[in-house]
Chains A and B, each alone.
Chain A
């Protein structure tokens, strides 16, 4: 399972970087979205995957006796998803505003509009 996810993450990163290098600003934002999803998936996988073993401690024991899934990366991913959602929605609004003001979707045309 880890191997499949690792390849998926690799493809996501590659696609994200390809999109980031495009000239279109909308595609740039799509690249950012892919990038943050790739990072989230990567954190999820790094601590190792355990199928069907919730990290619950049985009553009367100090620690579970069997291998359980590590809950911490999942908490991290949740935080990261919330943050990236906020930031990316800002990016989308920014791109929309830039379109309204500059009337271009081409990063090359955005040169020297700051004078």
Chain B
């Protein structure tokens, strides 16, 4: 039996169970932890199989490849699903302590499962229209999660988020329709095969439409405005889930589409990506510099970090793609963790605004250490995971001779450090201000439940930093797979490669 469909089925099943247990709070909470843990286990199983046996394919309903929907797990897909499971589990545990009765009554847990199912589906599908459907599953769940509690502060961000993401979906849908009109198939491997022999100007136009659609999802320059407008408003567990996973689905889709479907004119498409990457890095970090609210700073940093991943894709050398993938893995863990920690700070002091925070180093030194690990990793300090991620990308940039962009990447690393030190100094180091928001003292159990997932993710960051070898080898193999799309096509369509 193949575990390929499990990462999609488990969250959807857990979500349905959770819906049935709508009024029974302990059951919902139990299902949340068991469901996400199950997702992680299934994903790890899948990763082991994919690493051992190569690309795994499941033809849903036993329809042969170009006619039915194929689920495909190559190394990239499997790695992404594992990370999804990891973040899902961390956020599920964390939200046991933070969500509260009000939000749970609005269906927080079923929506969380649905979101995870959509994300896993997007990572595993081998059919371009099916990818659109998973994007929508994810999007609808995220709409509802973003407006959970529907407070006044959430409306502005929600309207921007909904509008721009709908615009992105429509662009994606139009591109899929035109692509179907051009090649007459929806299976990604089959499309790749047909596009390779097709010489039409329309192909580049389609490539750009996909770039815009996924660029909005990935929050790349100049399409990122929805992200800093909305990510600081929902409950903090939701913020962490979004920050870790959602934009990275867009980045994943860019990696998939520009290595499998449109690798033919890199001089044109990847040049645009390169400029986009540089400007994404710069604008994101500049935006963060002027913010004085914990989660807003972190949101802008998501944007700037997306630039590094796109840089890896845009340079399009084996080392650069490897660096981009390494960066995705590192970034998801670190960013989700930083949001979790911002939530702990908020629970202790009742505010996200830097001028109302302070003195936490004196009262909670463990929290300060917990914050420093992902914060320094984000800035790229050795020996943490971010150092290796940045090192590989920058090295690839130098080898490819893209000195301008590499200089930007280095500068942005420095400015990221500045931002993180700003948070550190304001929240932890300076004396507590006179005027503070009131917060009830959290119970010991509650605090443990919040700190445990954060500590687990920090441990992952440390381990990746200290033992970068295994992950490097895994990501290297994955980059090789991405740059040799024939193998993907062969795995999906069979060796003879139906015409």
* Interfacial residues, chain A to chain B (CB-CB below 8 A): 20, 25, 28, 32, 35-36, 39, 42-43, 46-48, 72-73, 76, 79-80, 83, 86-87, 90-91, 94-95, 97-98, 101-102, 107, 110-115
Contact with A along B176-194 (1 / 0, CB 8 A): 1110110010100000000
**Interchain CB contact under 8 A, B173 and A39:** yes
Interface stretch (choices B106-114, B163-171, B341-349): B163-171
**Interchain CB contact under 8 A, A76 and B177:** yes
- Report the bound CA distance from A113 to B157 in whole Å: 9
User: What are 27 inter-chain pairs, A to B, with CB distance below 8 A?
Assistant: A20-B167, A25-B159, A42-B177, A42-B178, A43-B177, A46-B178, A46-B181, A48-B181, A72-B186, A73-B180, A79-B129, A79-B133, A83-B133, A87-B162, A90-B144, A90-B162, A94-B147, A94-B155, A97-B147, A97-B155, A98-B155, A110-B155, A113-B152, A113-B153, A114-B153, A114-B156, A114-B233
- Kindly list the 8 A-B residue pairs having the minimum CB-CB distance in the complex, ordered from nearest: A46-B181, A43-B177, A98-B155, A101-B152, A114-B153, A83-B136, A114-B156, A39-B170
Known: A90-B162, A98-B159, A101-B155. A114 touches B232 (CB 8 A): yes
Contact with A along B228-257 (1 / 0, CB 8 A): 010011000000000000000000000000
Q: Which residues of B contact A97 (CB under 8 A)?
A: 147, 150, 155
**Interchain CB contact under 8 A, B166 and A36:** yes
- Report the bound CA distance from A42 to B139 in whole Å: 22
**Interchain CB contact under 8 A, A91 and B155:** no
Q: Which residues of B contact A32 (CB under 8 A)?
A: 163, 166
Q: Which residues of A contact B180 (CB under 8 A)?
A: 43, 46-47, 72-73, 76
Beyond A110-B155, A114-B156: 16 further Cβ-contacts under 8 Å? A32-B163, A43-B174, A47-B184, A76-B177, A83-B133, A87-B169, A90-B140, A94-B147, A94-B158, A101-B150, A101-B152, A101-B155, A102-B156, A107-B159, A111-B156, A113-B156
Q: Which residues of A contact B136 (CB under 8 A)?
A: 83, 87
Asked if B143 is at the interface of the complex by the 8 Å CB criterion, the answer is: yes
- Return the contact of A28 from the options B157, B163, B229 (Cβ within 8 A): B163
Q: Which residues of A contact B155 (CB under 8 A)?
A: 94, 97-98, 101-102, 110, 113-114
Q: Which residues of A contact B269 (CB under 8 A)?
A: none
Known: A28-B163, A43-B173, A87-B136. A76 touches B129 (CB 8 A): yes
Q: Which residues of A contact B181 (CB under 8 A)?
A: 46-48
Known: A90-B162, A91-B162, A95-B159. A36 touches B153 (CB 8 A): no
* Interfacial residues, chain B to chain A (CB-CB below 8 A): 129, 133, 136, 139-140, 143-144, 147, 150-159, 162-163, 166-167, 169-170, 173-174, 176-178, 180-181, 184, 186, 229, 232-233
B190: shortest Cβ distance to chain A, in Å? Answer: 13
**Interchain CB contact under 8 A, B157 and A114:** yes
**Interchain CB contact under 8 A, B140 and A110:** no
Q: Which residues of A contact B173 (CB under 8 A)?
A: 39, 43, 80
Q: Which of B147, B152, B177, B186 has the most A CB atoms < 10 Å from its CB? A: B177
Considering only CB atoms, which chain A residue lies closest to B182 in the complex?
A46
A50: shortest Cβ distance to chain B, in Å? Answer: 14
- Report the bound CA distance from A39 to B133 in whole Å: 15
- Report the bound CA distance from A95 to B155 in whole Å: 8
Q: Which residues of A contact B129 (CB under 8 A)?
A: 76, 79
- Report the bound CA distance from A71 to B229 in whole Å: 41
**Interchain CB contact under 8 A, A87 and B158:** no
- Report the bound CA distance from A77 to B177 in whole Å: 9
Considering only CB atoms, which chain B residue lies closest to A16 in the complex?
B170
Q: Which residues of B contact A80 (CB under 8 A)?
A: 173
Q: Which residues of A contact B163 (CB under 8 A)?
A: 20, 28, 32
Q: Which residues of A contact B147 (CB under 8 A)?
A: 94, 97
**Interchain CB contact under 8 A, A73 and B177:** yes
A40: shortest Cβ distance to chain B, in Å? Answer: 8
B134: shortest Cβ distance to chain A, in Å? Answer: 11
- Report the bound CA distance from A48 to B143 in whole Å: 35
- Report the bound CA distance from A80 to B454 in whole Å: 39
- Report the bound CA distance from A28 to B150 in whole Å: 20
**Interchain CB contact under 8 A, A42 and B174:** yes
**Interchain CB contact under 8 A, B177 and A90:** no
**Interchain CB contact under 8 A, A35 and B170:** yes
B158: shortest Cβ distance to chain A, in Å? Answer: 6
B186: shortest Cβ distance to chain A, in Å? Answer: 7
**Interchain CB contact under 8 A, A36 and B170:** yes
Q: Which of B133, B156, B169, B178 has the most A CB atoms < 10 Å from its CB? A: B156
- Report the bound CA distance from A97 to B186 in whole Å: 38
A9: shortest Cβ distance to chain B, in Å? Answer: 10
B330: shortest Cβ distance to chain A, in Å? Answer: 30
Q: Which of A36, A101, A113, A114 has the most B CB atoms < 10 Å from its CB? A: A114
**Interchain CB contact under 8 A, B140 and A102:** no
Q: Which residues of A contact B139 (CB under 8 A)?
A: 87
Q: Which residues of A contact B169 (CB under 8 A)?
A: 87
Q: Which residues of A contact B153 (CB under 8 A)?
A: 113-115
**Interchain CB contact under 8 A, B166 and A87:** yes
B229: shortest Cβ distance to chain A, in Å? Answer: 8
Q: Which residues of A contact B233 (CB under 8 A)?
A: 114
Q: Which residues of A contact B150 (CB under 8 A)?
A: 97, 101
Known: A28-B163, A32-B163. A46 touches B170 (CB 8 A): no
Q: Which residues of B contact A25 (CB under 8 A)?
A: 159
Q: Which residues of A contact B133 (CB under 8 A)?
A: 79, 83
